[in-house]
Structures are given as C-alpha cells and as structure tokens.
Amino acid sequence: MAWTLSARRLLTPFDVIDHPRVVVDGGTISKIGSAADVEAIGRVLDLGDAAIAPGFVDIHIHGGGGHDVMEDDSAALPAVEMLIAQHGVTGYFPTTVTAPLDQTLRALERLGKAIESAEKDGDPARARRARPLGIHLEGPFISHARRGVHPPADLLPPRLETFEKFWQASRGKIKVMTIAPELEGATEVIAEAAWRGVCVSLGHSDATLDAAERGVAAGGSHVTHTFNAMRPLGHRDPGILGAALVDDRLTADAIADGIHLDPMVLQLFLRAKGPERAVLITDAIAATGMPDGLYRLGSLEVEVRGGTCTSEGKLAGSVLTMDRAVRNVVQLAKWDLRSAVQLATANPARAVGQKLRGRLAVGMAADMVVLNGQGIVQKTIVGGVID
C-alpha cells in the first residue's frame, strides 16, 4: 500500500528540497520531489516544519539499553535496536570486541543468524527497531601496543585459516573488519577479506606510514575511530594517521562525543577528510541510554561515570547516540545540518557497500529519520512502515 510523506524540507543528504513529498510503496521510495512536482498517493503523513533525512547508519556499535551485541540472550539485539532507532538509526553493524576464540565464534554465529532473520522478517513490529545489516569484526587481528581495552591474551595474529573460521561462523555476514596492517600476515588477510566484499578498516594499529600504505594497497579502504588506538601523528613520523588524514583512497570514522576527540581535533579530522570521506560512528556500549554504573563490553567490565566509559583506566567505547554525534558536528565543528547528516548516512553506507541506504532517492530503501531544526529526532521510519 503506497503512502506519502510531506514536510518543510528534505535532506537527500546531497541536496535540500523545500516542501517535499516522498511516496513510499512496499518499503521502497517510488517518487520523490517537491510538492509541486509529485502527486500525493494514499495516506498522507504531514510532518509540518520538520526535515526528512535518510535513516542513520552506524557501522561501529557494541550495544545499548543495558545489552551487549555479543550476549547469548535473545532479548539483547531487540533492546539495542529499539534504543538506537529512537535516536534515528535505521541500519547498524553489531560490533564484536576481542574475546576467547570460542566465544567470538558463538557470537558471530548468533549475529549471522539474526541478520538472516532480519532480512526475511516481514513483521510490522520489526519496523520499530533498527536492522542489523552486517557484522563488524573488531579484533582479534589488532596490535598489542594499541589494543586499548581489548584483552591481550585473546589477540590473535592475522591468519587466513582463522579468518575463514570467523567467516563461516558468521554465515558470510562479516561486512566490516578492523585490522592492524603492520602485523605479520595482515596483508594476506586484508586482500582476502576485501575480495569477499568486506570493508577492511585499518585501526588499533601502531603502523608506520609505509605499513599503513601496504594495507591500503592490499585492499584496506577505511580507518577505525581515527586518532584513537593508533600511533600518534608525528611531524617526521606521520604513521597510520598520516595515511588516514591524507590518503583519498581511505574513508575514516570518528567518535564525535567531545571525549574521544577534542573539538579542535574533530575540526582537523573533518577538514582533512571532508564531507565525502568522513564518517560518524558511536562505538556505543551496553551503557548507552542507561544510568551511570558498571556494564559489560564483551567479556570486559566497564565503569561509566558522567558519560565517560573506562576499563582499567582506559577509554572503553562510549554512550554516544548518532543523533547526538550529528548535533555535535553542528555545534563543535560549525557544520550545517545537511552536511553533518551526510556523515551519518550516505558516507557510512557508501564505505560499507550499502547501495540502497544512506540516501533518499527513487529505488532506495524507505529508511528515514524526521528531525526538527536543531537535529533532534522526532520520528524514525524503518522499511517504510508507519504506525
């Protein structure tokens, strides 16, 4: 059944359409344009002074609502998905953290099944929740020197046979993988993963510039939480950050929570990567949307106080939501809302090969978020289903 959405403006996000109409049919956008050019069909939902934007896509998230995505609990993913949908996310990539091999394999199997189920699920109630689009494997192929809070005993050297175990357990649903390119065997794993369509992200790395560029040449195309858990930028030793900031073959993401990056460094990152290659992530953990206290990140215990998440004195993810990240770019970096929205929609979708999400155009998935003038979420629409 077709229906029509109207509002004050629409952010495609590459363009702004004033007084738009969006016609949705069967979960897909069938017509889009100004009210003068597009005839309303079926039920009309008038959003008044609000703006319509593509649904946010979070490619790096560990949990929320008190649950971790690696939990062996059927309530975990629905709780995470319900919470992040309330903050504008319509598609996400549940992200693992380094853990014992058997635990990682079990988590990958559960997540792979959940993604397959979401792909087939026609239950309208599912539309109140964000959809898992693929798995982000963060660890165990990362640097001991830049591991952050990832347990050192569970780190593994990059090996094709280990990657194959992960791939099979996930049912081929690994779509993003963070890896340190300087590790022995990394270039072979990077090349194999990229050949299978995985967005290979360089991160948790102590790589020199040469090692980082070898990773890019092998198939690396993205960078994980830029500036965090990587060799610092030196004026005579640029390291992996030199590649992240300057190499146009790379997209890169950042945690814009005001904690992981100083506002001036956030501005530096955004100027270096620009509106086409910068990506926002949350790196959110189970504590997101919850009061201060102790929470789990994989097998780790994390203390949350005043919005800062730590384990053993180190930052351990965040309680950031994607709508807050977008607003922070507007407020801290002085970007306009349309450009900030692009960092949470089109850019992450393109980085991970999601061709039907991240933009509003004919033929795209009808995943949308409704924002007021301050970028606060008023409504989230997943798969074109409205209440």
Catalytic sites, residue numbers: 283
Beta-bridged to residue 303, according to DSSP, are: 294, 310
Q: Cα(107)–Cα(94) distance, rounded to whole angstroms?
A: 10
What's the burial of 294, exposed, middle or buried (CB within 10 Å: 0-12/13-18/19+)? exposed
What's the burial of 305, exposed, middle or buried (CB within 10 Å: 0-12/13-18/19+)? exposed
Position 375: which residue type? G
Q: Cα(303)–Cα(1) distance, rounded to whole angstroms?
A: 48
| Block residue for tokens 């890896």 | 179
Position 234: which residue type? G
Q: Show the DSSP H helices in 45-100 as ranges.
A: 76-86
- Calculate ∠ Cα 257-324-85, nearest 5°: 125
Q: Cα(256)–Cα(326) distance, rounded to whole angstroms?
A: 8
Q: Cα(304)–Cα(308) distance, rounded to whole angstroms?
A: 6
Write out the E strands in 69-182: 89-94, 131-132, 135-138, 174-179
Dihedral sign, CA of 348, 215, 230, 102? Answer: positive
